[in-house]
């Protein structure tokens, strides 16, 4: 039950913790599990947004300035604020399956690298530009 509008693909703003003020997209939402008895969701977001690019820059410079650092986190529903924006999560399904391997070990580095390529390709294609801009407040 709970908050039915917090579905996969919804863009949210993180309100508390290390990534407070950062934008993220919900990868999967949970009503509650044995480990976490409260409503929570797995989010993937941009820790460091891409920097400004101008026409005078070379392709090498543009590639360097459009790099970004992603993060992935499980967060309580009470600590996110949904926005009106949605994000296509067709490639994000891989992230949920790659969170842990067969031995139960975390695969943070590999998941973040794949997430980084997804976000960078999306940004360079000119899609969801609001998501990649720095939040001004």
34: containing domain: 10-129
Q: What is the token pair recorded at 50?
A: 């891409």
What does the pLDDT look like over 79-121, one tens digit per residue? Answer: 999 999 988 777 666 665 555 555 556 666 788 888 899 898 8
CATH (domain of 95): 2.30.30.770
Residue 70 lies in a domain: yes
Total domain count for the chain? Answer: 1
Residue 3 lies in a domain: no
Residue 32 lies in a domain: yes
Bridge partners, 80 (sequence order): 14
Bridge partners, 26 (sequence order): 43
Question: Which residues fall within 8 angstroms of residue 5, CB to CB, at 6 or more apart?
Answer: 82
| Whole-structure pTM value | 0.82
Which one, of 79, 77, 91, lies nearest residue 22 by Cα?
79
Total Cβ atoms within 10 A of residue 14: 21
Residue 113 lies in a domain: yes
CA dihedral over 120, 121, 125, 131, signed as positive or negative: negative
């Amino acid at each position: 039950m709970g908050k039915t509008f917090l579905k996969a693909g919804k863009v949210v703003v993180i309100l508390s913790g290390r990534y407070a003020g950062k934008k993220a997209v919900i990868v999967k939402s949970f009503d509650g599990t044995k480990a976490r008895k409260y409503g929570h969701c797995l989010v993937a977001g941009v820790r460091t947004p891409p920097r400004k690019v101008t026409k005078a820059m070379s392709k090498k410079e543009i590639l360097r300035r459009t790099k970004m650092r992603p993060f992935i986190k499980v967060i309580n529903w009470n600590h996110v604020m949904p926005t009106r924006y949605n994000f296509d999560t067709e490639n994000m399904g891989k992230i949920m399956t790659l969170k842990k391997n067969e031995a139960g070990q975390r695969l943070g580095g590999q998941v973040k690298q794949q997430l980084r390529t997804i976000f960078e390709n999306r940004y360079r294609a000119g899609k969801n530009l609001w998501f990649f801009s720095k939040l001004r407040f």
